[in-house]
Amino acid sequence: MEQKATNGLFATLSKMSGEKSRRTLWWGLGLLVLGIAGVILSNPGGGHMSSFSGWGAGGIYDKGSYASNGERIYYLGIDGEGERIPFRSGPHWLRMMGGSCVNCHGPDGKGGLPVMMGTHLPGDVRYSALVSGEDHGEEEDEGQAYTDDDIRRAVRNGVEPSGERMDRTMPRWKISDEDLDDLLDYLKELG
């Protein structure tokens, strides 16, 4: 004895007849499977946001693998535990799309990449440029040599060596001491 489906998907399936309806059903199921596979493959980190695409995190600069924790922080904004490094303030797009140092300062650390809604061009964050007092991207920054502690304050608090606040597009990262030391080591590797 055949039971008749009366609602939902079962009702729709029971009303389908003919080759065209079966073909439509198979196409629909195939697209559903492809969609689920796309979602799974877009996040191979399994819950961690370590594999962003697009402009967030490493975005177009994403190298896929990193030689050190500092390099991974610079490119992805992902800490030593595999978690996004939170921040207190910064541009709104950073909250929506993710991001990291590379998005504004570039893969070579030389900066100069325009930031959406920013009023200043991001400066050169290579260690040699920071400690020498070379031009960091803005006229008022010339001649301000950074110490390691100044670099830490800039990353965490958005403060110049002179005590002036950096542009609002510079995130104020809530980064651990260990991760910040790793990032500082990577800035030294950049030059």
In this structure, are residues 121 and 111 in contact, taking their beta carbons and an 8 Å threshold?
A: yes
For residue 50, the model assigns a pLDDT of: 36
If one compares 146 and 40, the residue with the highest pLDDT of the two is: 146
What sign does the dihedral 95-62-182-166 (CA atoms) show? negative
Residue 55 has pLDDT above 80, yes or no: no
| Beta carbons within 10 angstroms of residue 57's beta carbon | 23
- Ordered alpha helix ranges (H), the chain: 8-15, 18-41, 69-76, 92-97, 101-105, 127-132, 148-157, 177-190
- What's the mean pLDDT in 26-48? 63
CA separation for the pair 150, 145 (Å, rounded): 9
pLDDT for the residue 167: 82
Whole-number Å distance between alpha carbons of 178 and 180: 5
Eight-class DSSP state of 176: -
Band (40; pLDDT cuts 50, 70, 90): low
pLDDT band at 46 (very low <50, low <70, confident <90, very high): very low
CA distance 1 to 30: 31
Query: According to the model, what pLDDT value does residue 143 have?
Result: 65
Scanning the structure block, which residue is given the tokens 């996040």? 43
Give the pLDDT band (50/70/90) at residue 136.
Answer: low
Q: Report whether 22 contacts 16 (CB < 8 A).
A: yes
Q: Using the predicted structure, report yes or no on whether residue 1 has a pLDDT greater than 80.
A: no
Query: Does the pLDDT at position 54 exceed 80?
Result: no
**Stretch 19-30: mean pLDDT, rounded?**
73
Cα 166 off chain centre by = 21
Token pair for 182 = 């790793």
Residue 8 has a pLDDT of: 57
User: Does the pTM exceed 0.75?
Assistant: no
> How crowded is the C-beta side of 68, counted as CA atoms within 13 Å?
16
Question: Is pLDDT at 47 greater than 60 in this prediction?
Answer: no
| Most confident range, picked from 34-43, 65-74, 93-102, 131-140 | 65-74
State yes or no: pLDDT of 152 exceeds 90: yes
Query: Which position has the token pair 């979602």?
Result: 39
CA-to-CA dists, residue 53 to 41, 48, 105, angstroms: 12, 13, 18
